[in-house]
């Protein structure tokens, strides 16, 4: 009995620590108070058993109801989508539909996300963290971070604002959504730090544009 009580205390302590970690995470702070309350209610119910995961964006979404996941995705992603030129003219309803296809993903530090010369099969929207974007030509190395600034690693000067990558795929499917030939990446994209992001897969983007063509 003493061992059980000790184990239960440790589990509750871990849950409380993970709850505080979640509350302090950047992506959680971007949510409205109402959504934050619902996340805490669903994810951190008092429990004597079970593992409590950390606060990266995949774990934050894991185990939540579908309705709450959709609300969180819209809250975190709508403004990111509006930074993409193609999506700036879309109305709220169209952006809501687009958000339904986005999936939260966590890339640990040094993970290679897209390799130079490989087909681009997804778009990536960064919520938090830094991406190292480089080519075989060292003069084109750059860093992308959640402050939306890309830095030339040679000059350390601001170049332009980027909070997403994979726009080559968007441009290809926008003009020819039925194509099965995806553009080849001219850059390697790697997680410089731990990265919280959302991904939009090529097959989902194809379906979105095909649907929009049919509606026009």
> Is the pLDDT reported for residue 203 higher than 60?
yes
pLDDT for position 155:
33
Sheet holding 149-152, edge to edge: 112-114, 188-191, 131-134, 142-144, 149-152, 158-161
Confidence band of 205 (pLDDT split at 50, 70, 90): very high
Distance CA 129, CA 150 (A): 12
pLDDT digits (tens, 9 = 90+) for 166-196: 989 999 998 888 888 899 999 898 888 888 9
Structure tokens at 153: 């690693």
pLDDT digits (tens, 9 = 90+) for 62-73: 888 899 999 989
pLDDT for position 186:
92
pLDDT digits (tens, 9 = 90+) for 77-100: 998 899 888 899 888 988 999 999
Please tell me what DSSP assigns to residue 147: T
- Which of 28-37, 122-131, 162-171 has the weakest average pLDDT? 28-37
pLDDT for position 175:
86
pLDDT digits (tens, 9 = 90+) for 98-111: 999 999 999 999 99
Sheet holding 122-128, edge to edge: 103-107, 195-201, 122-128, 164-165
- The residue with greater pLDDT, 189 or 157, is 189
Handedness of CA 86, 90, 93, 94 (dihedral sign): negative
> Is the pLDDT reported for residue 10 higher than 60?
no
Please tell me what DSSP assigns to residue 139: G
The rounded mean pLDDT for the chain is 76
| 59 and 53 Cβ atoms separated by less than 8 Å | yes
Cα angle 124, 130, 131; round to 5: 55
**Region at 147 (left for phi over 0; alpha for psi -120 to 50; beta for the rest):** alpha
> Is the pLDDT reported for residue 47 higher than 50?
no
> Is the pLDDT reported for residue 6 higher than 50?
no
Kind of pairing between the strands at 142-144 and 149-152: antiparallel
């Amino acid at each position: 009995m003493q061992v059980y009580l000790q184990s239960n205390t440790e589990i509750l302590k871990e849950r409380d620590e993970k709850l505080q970690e979640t509350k302090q995470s950047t992506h959680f702070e971007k949510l409205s108070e109402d959504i934050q309350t619902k996340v805490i209610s669903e994810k951190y119910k008092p429990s004597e058993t079970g593992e409590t995961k950390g606060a990266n964006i995949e774990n934050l979404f894991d185990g939540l109801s579908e309705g709450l996941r959709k609300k969180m995705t819209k809250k975190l992603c709508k403004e990111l989508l509006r930074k993409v030129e193609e999506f700036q003219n879309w109305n709220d309803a169209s952006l809501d539909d687009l958000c339904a296809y986005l999936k939260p993903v966590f890339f640990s530090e040094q993970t290679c996300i897209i390799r130079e010369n490989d087909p681009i099969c997804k778009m990536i929207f960064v919520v938090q963290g830094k991406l190292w974007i480089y080519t075989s030509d060292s003069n084109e190395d750059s860093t992308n971070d959640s402050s939306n600034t890309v830095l030339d690693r040679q000059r350390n000067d601001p170049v332009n604002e980027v909070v997403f990558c994979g726009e080559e795929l968007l441009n290809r499917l926008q003009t020819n959504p039925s194509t099965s030939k995806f553009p080849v990446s001219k850059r390697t994209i790697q997680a410089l730090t731990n990265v919280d992001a959302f991904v939009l897969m090529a097959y989902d983007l194809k379906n979105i544009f095909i649907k929009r063509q049919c509606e026009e």
